[in-house]
Structure 1
Amino acid sequence: MKLLKQTGSLIFLSVILFSCLPLQAQNAKQFIKPNDNRIRIEGAFFLKKTDNKMIINRHEKKIIDIPETEANPKNAFTQSGVTLSFVSDSKNIKILLSPRKGTSHRHSVFGVFKNGKLYKQIAVLPRKDTAFNGIAFQNPDGKTAVWEIVFPPYYGVNFNGIETDKGSHFAAAPQKDKPVYVAIGNSITQGTGQTAGFQTWPWILAQKEGWQLYNLAVGGSKISWPFALELAGKKVDVITILWGYNDWNKGYTPKKQIIPRYTKLLSILLKDHPKAKIYCITPTFTYRQQPKHGTVSLNEIRQAEADVVRKFQKKGYKNLFLIDGKSLTGPENMKPKGSKDVVHFTPKGARLFAEALYNAINQVH
């Protein structure tokens, strides 16, 4: 009887001691460092890793700083097309993130994919301070799953690690040997008009083709040959180029800017990636009839780009293809006529364009 009383006292004491523990200790987490090799980041060629932070760059600063690049750093250092993947059975998962200074942030949605299917969308409103510290989600059944986080097209963040339940399983996602696809262009390609990276047309096209996407597009950019320099020495299998609208709006002319810049861009790409298939897409549909500057028509810009492509084709480049962007797009891709946005796709419009482009690509072979 005495022993029973002592045992009861011990149990009671244990309950008291546990209840006095900090909540953090009762719900212990395990921290996976951002440079852990079980975490896979795809969609960005330039990563800087430490124990505390990973800087995810789609572009090199030295390239953005070149005057001929004509790309806004605020848009260049966002993470359109970037994905983060791993395997875990944790019931609670938090991706630790911090806002990146000096970058654009519009209404953004992170896509959480579980075993290849969209599981959750997490919206992050444009920040007014630095309070944002990541996105959290639950896995109630506690079953092991492949998780993939798709970053938004217009939000610059740094990756600071992952929190999971203590003792939960954590491993690398299965490696898939996919053709590497690089999308080059302006805001139409980066994803203006869509809030989630998985809504952009390059993402949808890559999924349909089974390609691994690297979206190098920068909103507001013009035809920029320095972007081609970033691909030197890298494995690239497919490239799409969609530039010209901003050049036209700026008042650039075929003779002075379009032809020489497009020629230099293709010269570098064809030399460095002789086996890559390159699809040159002329500017897509827009409601705008006249440019903000100059008198050149958009059809003249389209024709100039087409002429450059055909010259290279005549030289024997059989891996270079021309696609008429205007013929693949129309009002069905856009907001209603009279809307403020006269050129960017809606989420539905981006999907329609990706499907039309998929068909066009498979017809030119």
Structure 2
Amino acid sequence: MFRLNCLLLVIVLLFTSCDKKQNRVATYRNVDIKDTKIKVKGANYVDRSGEHLCWSRFPEEVLSMPSTQSMFNADKARTNSGVRMQFKTKSDRVKLVFLPQLGDNRGAAFAINQNGQPTQTFEFNAQESSQQMTIEVVNQHPGLSTYFEVVMPSWANVALNSMELWGTSELEELADDSKPVYLAIGNSITHGVGQGSATYLTYPYLVAKSLGYDYYNLAVGGAKVSQAIADMTDELPKADLITILIGYNDLIFSGKTVAEYITAYESYLRSIRNNHPYAKIYCITLTYTKAEKSEKTGITPDQYRLALRNFIYHEQSKGDKRLFLIEGDEISSVENLRDDNPNDKVHFSIKGAELFAKELIEIIGE
């Protein structure tokens, strides 16, 4: 009889355990993704009106311009480099479902920060990121109000399709965390070519995180000096810090003369300065490249560097005390370039982006 009772007790415990597990699986529940307790950073244009929570770094009127006017490719501009989604909850787990949107797609790498510390990463290749992507975030501080930040991929355009929290947990109000604002403006080097599709490995992300800035990445792969981007910076929060690294595509692919490059740069910089009168602006000359000259014009990178140096010195002499020059080829070298693609003449590897960020941090942080 004693053995029979023990056997019955074990059976009861097993069924109880199974019931608990089933209940545990069933405790996820949907929350409203239109809830403004979900904040989006790094994208000034957020749409909560449709089925998905969507965001964009650029306004639609700029994206719809002909590329000959905008000076960049709209599909590349629709990608999410620098975009972060933030929320706060006590939930032990959070399930997030993302869907791809219109734009270039080179895969999707997400990073999760909790209370400011990196905790998880999720990677989807180009094929996987062309369909629904589900990530499950485990709270490293179970039962406590935890601040989550989801860092979006740099070379995909995604939207939040759903969010599920565990048990009875709710979204909580985020405290006001006003920080100085950093705008990173440029082309594919700043966008993040060479760091996969991982915003969290790009140099602007590393600079912003180290210096404690909120930031917007306004770089687009293949972009040339773009008056449209300069003009639209008026719609962004007033910046405290701006870095500009632009010109490689003007030299190599557009074949601009030195005079044409500086004329375009002058108008471009004037608009940025007018829109952000108190920002410290760091203009970076062309970084190290294996490209020796433009095949179209025969003009060398050094000629562009010299011209930009002289132009910035001239602007400084007119009294702009918040305008600075950084010699790009002095803080980069062949060591920065991609080791996974030796034929790439200009883009940084993951390690190269980190090294470049460290150089900028040292200069800007002085």
TM range (shorter): 0.7 to 0.9
Which position in structure 2 is the counterpart of 1:226?
Answer: 228
Equivalent residue runs for 1:159-174 within 5 Å: 159-174=160-175
Name whichever of 104-113 and 182-191 sits farther off: 104-113
Equivalent residue runs for 1:50-65 within 5 Å: 50=49, 52-64=51-63, 65=65
| Contact 1:52–1:161 (CA under 8 A) maintained in structure 2 | no
Q: Quick one: distance in 2 between partners of 1:272 and 1:141?
A: 42
Letter paired with 1:178? K
Cα drift, residue 309 of structure 1: 1.7
Which position in structure 1 is the counterpart of 2:194?
Answer: 193
| Contact 1:34–1:50 (CA under 8 A) maintained in structure 2 | no
Which position in structure 2 is the counterpart of 1:182?
Answer: 183
Equivalent residue runs for 1:69-218 within 5 Å: 69-101=70-102, 103-127=103-127, 130-139=130-139, 142-144=142-144, 145-195=146-196, 196-218=198-220
Letter paired with 1:216? L
Q: Quick one: distance in 1 between partners of 2:160 and 2:232?
A: 22
| Contact 1:40–1:172 (CA under 8 A) maintained in structure 2 | no
| Contact 2:73–2:222 (CA under 8 A) maintained in structure 1 | yes
| Contact 1:108–1:153 (CA under 8 A) maintained in structure 2 | yes
Cα drift, residue 139 of structure 1: 3.0
Q: Quick one: distance in 1 between partners of 2:51 and 2:24?
A: 22
Q: Quick one: distance in 1 between partners of 2:41 and 2:193?
A: 21
Cα drift, residue 89 of structure 1: 2.2
The yes-or-no answer on 1:352 pairing with 2:351 is no
Other structure's SS at 2:297 match: coil
Relative to structure 1, is the Cα distance of residues 265 and 126 closer, same or farther in structure 2, using a 3 angstrom cutoff?
same
Relative to structure 1, is the Cα distance of residues 108 and 263 closer, same or farther in structure 2, using a 3 angstrom cutoff?
same
The yes-or-no answer on 1:252 pairing with 2:256 is yes
Other structure's SS at 1:274 match: coil
Q: Quick one: distance in 1 between partners of 2:55 and 2:313?
A: 37
Letter paired with 2:52? K
Which position in structure 2 is the counterpart of 1:33?
Answer: 32
| Contact 1:56–1:159 (CA under 8 A) maintained in structure 2 | no
Give the TM-score normalised by structure 2. 0.87
Selected match of 1:294 from 286, 292, 297: 297
RMSD, aligned α-carbons: 2.4
Which position in structure 1 is the counterpart of 2:9?
Answer: none
Cα drift, residue 31 of structure 1: 1.9
Q: Quick one: distance in 2 between partners of 1:200 and 1:52?
A: 30
Q: Quick one: distance in 1 between partners of 2:246 and 2:23?
A: 51
Q: Quick one: distance in 1 between partners of 2:345 and 2:338?
A: 8
Letter paired with 1:226? A
Letter paired with 1:61? E
Letter paired with 1:72? N
Total equivalences in the alignment: 344
What is the percent sequence identity of the aligned residues? Answer: 31
| Contact 1:95–1:162 (CA under 8 A) maintained in structure 2 | yes
Other structure's SS at 2:137 match: strand
Structure 1: stretches of 5+ with no match in the other structure: 1-11
Relative to structure 1, is the Cα distance of residues 310 and 26 closer, same or farther in structure 2, using a 3 angstrom cutoff?
closer
Cα drift, residue 109 of structure 1: 1.4
Cα drift, residue 24 of structure 1: 9.7
| Contact 1:283–1:302 (CA under 8 A) maintained in structure 2 | yes
Q: Quick one: distance in 2 between partners of 1:128 and 1:153?
A: 15
Q: Quick one: distance in 1 between partners of 2:341 and 2:100?
A: 35
Q: Quick one: distance in 2 between partners of 1:352 and 1:42?
A: 25
Q: Quick one: distance in 2 between partners of 1:325 and 1:68?
A: 27
| Contact 1:96–1:160 (CA under 8 A) maintained in structure 2 | yes
Which position in structure 2 is the counterpart of 1:309?
Answer: 312
Which position in structure 2 is the counterpart of 1:320?
Answer: 323
User: 1:5-41 CA distances to partner (integer Å, 9 max, x unpaired)?
Assistant: xxxxxxx9xx9xx98xxx8997043222222111111
User: 1:136-163 CA distances to partner (integer Å, 9 max, x unpaired)?
Assistant: 2333763322111111111111122311
| Contact 1:185–1:221 (CA under 8 A) maintained in structure 2 | yes
Relative to structure 1, is the Cα distance of residues 107 and 340 closer, same or farther in structure 2, using a 3 angstrom cutoff?
farther
Other structure's SS at 2:35 match: coil
Relative to structure 1, is the Cα distance of residues 292 and 52 closer, same or farther in structure 2, using a 3 angstrom cutoff?
same
| Contact 2:194–2:338 (CA under 8 A) maintained in structure 1 | no
| Contact 1:204–1:354 (CA under 8 A) maintained in structure 2 | yes
| Contact 1:287–1:337 (CA under 8 A) maintained in structure 2 | no
Q: Quick one: distance in 1 between partners of 2:129 and 2:116?
A: 33
Letter paired with 1:76? A
Cα drift, residue 175 of structure 1: 2.4
Letter paired with 2:46? L
User: 1:315-342 CA distances to partner (integer Å, 9 max, x unpaired)?
Assistant: 2111111110110000221134981222
